[in-house]
Chains A and B, each alone.
Chain A
Amino acid sequence: DQQVKQNSPSLSVQEGRISILNCDYTNSMFDYFLWYKKYPAEGPTFLISISSIKDKNEDGRFTVFLNKSAKHLSLHIVPSQPGDSAVYFCAAKGRGSNYKLTFGKGTLLTVNP
């Protein structure tokens, strides 16, 4: 069951450059998408979200883009900082439900000084 896919297990970026993390989904009933950041042995930390009625949401260095026709979303981090190094999870919630999130497998981002 891979309704949410993060096809890149890892990404390495230089400090100050842009990091682009990608996520694809297959379930057209998803209506709310979230990005979480996770350090080892800690819980997922919420970063940014987007509703399916929007195509962009921005919060400081983080921007999420949603392309509903392609069932694709991406997280842009600019400028990237070494402290951004972590695993980033894409998650999605179904329409009409306040319940389960379906997670991708995550992408390990390494930002090199």
Chain B
Amino acid sequence: EPEVTQTPSHQVTQMGQEVILRCVPISNHLYFYWYRQILGQKVEFLVSFYNNEISEKSEIFDDQFSVERPDGSNFTLKIRSTKLEDSAMYFCASSGDPSGQETQYFGPGTRLLVL
């Protein structure tokens, strides 16, 4: 069964450093997403991406964040200058196969710890 994959599974970084989280969405999906879950809190939407551009973003997704689909398979989230409060699980998701399926399928997550 196709699945969303994410690398790395864990990332530890120093405050102020740049991090890139990587995702490989399900191959025939058209919509890509990033969510995050701070420990003990809800899963929160960050950004959605369609047709090589951001289609929607939350207020969390400020200028420190960017997304890119550098090739036909990868989808990345970059945090330019990490802050302590960026520590969270980051989930990538994809949806929208050609049949119009709306369900978003999530990857296993990257646990980011900012020290």
Contacts and interface: CB of A to CB of B under 8 A. Distances in A.
A75 to B, nearest CB: 15
B111 A49 contact: no
Interface string A34-45: 101000011111
A94 to B, nearest CB: 10
Contacts of B44: 103
B111 A41 contact: yes
Interface residues of A, number: 23
Interface centre among B44, B48, B95, B102 (most CB of A within 10 A): B102
Interface residues of B, number: 28
A98 B31 contact: yes
Contact of A43 (B58, B95, B109): B109
Interface in B15-72: 31, 33, 35, 41-45, 48, 50, 55-56, 58
B115 to A, nearest CB: 19
A105 B39 CA distance: 12
A36 B106 contact: yes
Given A99-B56, A100-B58, A105 B42 contact: yes
Interface string A85-97: 0000101010001
Interface string B64-103: 0000000000000000000000000101000110000011
A93 B105 CA distance: 14
B42 A49 contact: no
Interface in A54-94: 89, 91, 93
Given A98-B102, A101-B43, 5 more contacts: A34-B103, A49-B103, A99-B31, A101-B33, A102-B45
Interface of B: 4, 6, 31, 33, 35, 41-45, 48, 50, 55-56, 58, 89, 91, 95-96, 102-109, 111
19 contacts: A34-B104, A36-B106, A41-B111, A42-B108, A43-B6, A43-B107, A43-B108, A46-B105, A89-B43, A93-B102, A97-B56, A98-B95, A99-B31, A99-B48, A101-B35, A101-B104, A102-B45, A103-B42, A103-B43
